[in-house]
Amino acid sequence: MNPNLVSIVPCPDYAPDVCEAALIAVLEPLGGLDWVKPGMRIGIKANLVTGAKPEKAVTTHPTLLATLTRFLKARGASVVIGDSPGNLYNASVLNRVYALSGLSEAEEAGAELNHDFSEKDGFHADAVQAKRFTYTGWLDSCDAIINFCKLKSHGMMSLSAAAKNLFGTIPGTMKPEYHYRFPNPNDFADMIVDLDEYWKPVLHICDAVTAMEGNGPTQGTPKHVGCLIASKNPHRLDVLAATLIGLEPKDVPTIAAAVRRNLTPESVDEIEIAGDWKAFLQDDFEIIRNRNSLLFVGGNNIFGRAVRGAINACLASKPKVKTSACVGCGKCRDICPAHTITIKNKKAVIDRRHCIKCFCCQEFCPVGAMRVHRSPVAKLLTRGKESSK
C-alpha cells in the first residue's frame, strides 16, 4: 500500500450511521485500523482550540470522535482524547471546552477525556526550527496518536487542517511565546512541521463535513463541504484540503515548508488519491490568503533589503479591529505576545510598530472583532473570494 495515499469519501452530515459508514469507507484504502492491537492506548489529538458548540464548526465533531472511539475500543484499545486550547492549560478550562464541544458523546462511547495537564521538555535533533520545545505530557502515555483535525481557514497560516493541528501539542499558555519566537510565517511553519515530524501520528483524519470559512479558525462561518479525508501523510492531506477550498497549496506556509523537505509534492496532480475528490471542490469558499507567495525577495544588499522591506510592508496582511464589534474585553491584549494592544475607550488599539502579525488576537477574539486585513495592493495581485472584512 502507498503510505502517501490520500483517501476522500462523502459524509453528508453528522448522523451517527452516516459518520460510521464514512469513517469505515475513508479508512479502508489505508488498510483500516488493522494496526490497532488489543491493549494499545490510542491518543486522539482532536482540534479543541476553544470551547464551541459543534454546529459552530470550530472543533472536531463529537459524533466523529465517538464513532472512532467505538471502532478503537472494538479492537481492544483504550482511547484518550486531548488537545491544548489557546488558553490556560488546566482542568477548569478543559472541562469547559469538553462540555461546550459536546465531548460527553465521545466519553459515553468509552473515551477518556485527558486530565493530565503536565508539561514536558522535548528534544528533536532533526528539527529545522524547534530542536527544544515544551509539549503536553499526556501524549507520552499513548502508544499511537491519531490526528483528527477540522478543515478551517486560518488567519496566519491560511489553512488549518492536518499539519497545523499539531501546534496543539504545545501547552496553551506557551503558544504566544512560540509566536514570538518564530514571528516569520515560514519559520513558524517549519516549527509546526517539526512537531509533525516529531510526533508522527499513525493516521490523520480531517473532518471536512462542515468546515469553517472566513474569519477562522474560531470566528469564521460554517460551510458545508460534505466529506472526510484521511492519510498517513499530513502534508499530502493538506495539499488536497487546500485545493478543495480554493487555496494554492504553495500559499500555505506549512505546505511550502513540507515541500522544501520533500514530504509532499506541491500539486494535487502529483498525489495519489482514492475517491472522487473533484466532487468536493468549492468554488465560493471564503479564504484568507497568506501573503507569502507574493513576498518580494529582491537582492541582499542594502538597496535590495530596503526595497524588499518597503514592498513587503505594502503586501503584508495585518490585524485590524472592527471597532463597531469590539466589546473591549481585553482578551486580545492579554494574549498578544508582542504586548502591543491596549484598550482605550473600551476598544482595542494596536500599536503596529511592534506587531509581529501572528494573528493570535484574531484567533482568540471572542466576538470576531479582530479581522485579517489585506492591503488593496495585495488584493489586486490575487484573485478569489477572500475574508477581508
Binding site for ligand SF4 (CB under 6 A): 319, 321, 326-332, 336-338, 340-341, 343, 348, 350, 355-361, 365, 367, 369-370
> Which cell is 310 given?
518597503
CB of 214 vs ligand SF4, minimal distance in Å:
16
What's the min distance (Å) between Cβ of 216 and ligand SF4? 15
C-alpha distances in angstroms, 325 versus 56, 79, 196?
Answer: 19, 41, 36
Grid coordinates standing for 279?
466532487
Query: Residue by residue, what is the 3-state secondary structure of 375-388?
Result: CHHHHHCCCCCECC
Judged by CB, which is closer to ligand SF4: 15, or 367?
367
* Strand-strand pairing, 347-350 and 341-344: antiparallel
Q: For the residues of 332-346, what is the DSSP string, one character each?
A: HHHH-TT--EEEETT
CB of 134 to ligand SF4, least distance (A): 20
Rounded to the nearest whole angstrom, what is the least distance from the CB of residue 116 to ligand SF4 in the complex? 29
Between 51 and 62, CB nearer to ligand SF4: 51
For residue 366, the minimal CB distance to ligand SF4 (Å) is: 6
Q: How far is the CB of 381 from ligand SF4 (least distance, A)?
A: 22
Q: Would you say 250 or 373 has its CB closer to ligand SF4? A: 373
Going 164 to 168 to 169 to 175, the CA torsion angle's sign is: positive
Nearest to ligand SF4 of 208, 365 (CB atom): 365
C-beta of residue 260 within 8 angstroms of C-beta of residue 189: no
The span from the CA of 142 to the CA of 98, in Å, is 20
Quick one: 155 or 275, whose CB is closer to ligand SF4? 155
What is d(CA 152, CA 138) in angstroms, rounded to the nearest whole number?
Answer: 25
* DSSP single-letter state for residue 114: P
Residue 8 or residue 335: which is nearer to ligand SF4 going by CB?
Answer: 335
Strand partners, 342: 349
User: Are residues 58 and 150 in contact, defined by beta-carbon separation less than 8 angstroms?
Assistant: yes
Looking at beta carbons only, is 124 or 318 nearer to ligand SF4? Answer: 318
Considering the complex, what minimum distance in angstroms separates the CB of residue 193 from ligand SF4?
A: 21
For residue 139, give every residue at least 6 positions away whose Cβ sits within 8 Å of its Cβ, in sequence order, or none: 43, 45, 82, 145, 169, 199
At residue 42, φ and ψ (nearest 5 deg) are -105, 125
